[in-house]
């Protein structure tokens, strides 16, 4: 039996690992699962504005009331800070982290 084992050719060396294309970094958005606005029955509260009429409440044209309601909800949100950081990093529209687009534009850089 020893002859058969000795007669085998040695295995070739292992191949080097194939290069893997770098994957783009994915932003950490797990905080969204805990957002106070998540699943809200009126998501347009956060996106209203004079140029974006309120489609859910045709009789409620006062977008300021909508924005104020969204901001009040944001004030209770446990993930307000990462939400605001996301909005600042991605130039989001609407209310994010308790600030409107105009307020975020005026905010100092983090």
Query: Where does the pLDDT of residue 46 fall: very low under 50, low under 70, confident under 90, or very high at 90 and above?
Result: confident
Q: How confident is the model at residue 15 (pLDDT cuts 50, 70, 90)?
A: confident
Q: Looking at the domain assignment, is residue 20 inside a domain?
A: no
**Is residue 17 one of the residues assigned to a domain?**
no
What is the value of pTM for the model shown? Answer: 0.65
Query: Which residue is listed with tokens 């600042």?
Result: 88
Q: How far is Cα 83 from Cα 71, in angstroms, rounded to an integer?
A: 13
108 falls within a domain? yes
Residue 64 lies in a domain: yes
Residue 74 lies in a domain: yes
Q: Which residue range(s) make up the domain with 68? A: 31-110
Q: Is residue 24 part of a domain?
A: no
Query: Which residues carry a binding-site annotation?
Result: 37, 74, 77, 83
21 assigned to some structural domain: no
Confidence of residue 97 (pLDDT cuts 50, 70, 90): very high
The domain total for the chain is: 1
For the annotated binding site for [4Fe-4S] cluster, the residues are 37, 74, 77, 83
40 belongs to a structural domain:
yes
Q: Is the pLDDT of residue 3 over 60?
A: no
Q: Is pLDDT above 90 for 56?
A: no
pLDDT of residue 83: 95
């Amino acid at each position: 039996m020893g002859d058969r084992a000795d007669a085998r050719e040695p295995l070739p060396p292992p191949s080097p690992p194939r290069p893997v294309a770098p994957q783009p970094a994915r932003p950490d958005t797990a905080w969204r699962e805990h957002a106070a606005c998540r699943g809200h029955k009126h998501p347009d509260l956060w996106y209203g504005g004079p140029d974006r009429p309120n489609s859910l409440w045709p009789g409620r044209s006062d977008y300021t009331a909508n924005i104020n309601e969204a901001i009040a909800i944001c004030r209770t949100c446990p993930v307000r800070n990462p939400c605001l950081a996301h909005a600042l990093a991605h130039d989001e529209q609407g209310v994010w982290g308790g600030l409107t687009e105009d307020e975020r534009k005026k905010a100092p850089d983090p």
